Amino acid sequence: MDLIEHIDKDCLPEHVAIIMDGNGRWAKGKGKMRVFGHQNGVTAVRDTVEGAVELGVKYLTLYAFSAENWNRPKLEVMALMELLVLTISKETETLMKNGVKLHAIGNLKSLPDKCYRQLQETIDKTSNNKACTLTLALSYSSRWEITEAARELAVKVRDGKLNPEDITEDVFSAALNTANMPDPELMIRTSGEYRISNYLLWQLAYAELYFTPKLWPDFRREDLFEAIIDYQKRERRFGMTSEQLN
């Protein structure tokens, strides 16, 4: 029996977030340069996105490039940016075929101009797609995002457009990059690392965390299905007791 047949389609996480980790180690294990792992990670992205669409997951957010990644060797960063431009361009047709809307979060203005233009072009082209929203976290840092939101609200208070006592969780959430999308119910991290790594710190407050030793280039839709099956076995209590839920 296929894994997908074990999944309850009425109990899907609406939003799945993934930390795609292990590209460098995967390449090193094959005696290749790190960029070889990033190149092969594209196949994992494509298959995972198509698996999410097949299931009916409405939001998929991928940690593609962190703000801290700018500190990596210059050659690797340049190769990653070139790969990003090429991949977005090549995958636009696949996104359209699968009804996937592309979105991006992070300090996008820090991206190279060519990369930013290609990203915006594909975002515009896919803007009317409805099957799934694929969000790329690029030059992203959750602490940066939270700081920016706090600064935005502080300016509104200073200018008399917002009263401090009116700042609620919903108001703060609306100032984040992820405004207008639900918080992730499931966060997956590959490569056997057990960290959140400055990723969606506010949004993951009640997410179920799933860690797999599989390196990202080897990740496929079946691995996504396994993570969702595991998610569906968990009891999500949100501070209540099991008795209250039942």
Q: Catalytic residues, which ones? A: 21, 69
Tokens of 111: 């991206």
The alpha carbon torsion through 31, 36, 38, 39 (nearest 10 deg) reads -150
160 φ, ψ (degrees, to nearest 5) = 75, 15
CA atoms within 13 A on the CB side of 239: 2
Contacts of 89 (CB under 8 A, 6+ apart): 118, 122
What does the alpha-carbon distance between residue 202 and residue 63 come to, in Å, rounded to a whole number? 15
Q: Output Rg (C-alpha) for the chain, integer angstroms.
A: 19
What does the alpha-carbon distance between residue 192 and residue 194 come to, in Å, rounded to a whole number? 6
Supply the DSSP symbol for 60. E
The answer to whether the CB of 197 falls within 8 A of the CB of 66 is: yes
The answer to whether the CB of 92 falls within 8 A of the CB of 122 is: yes
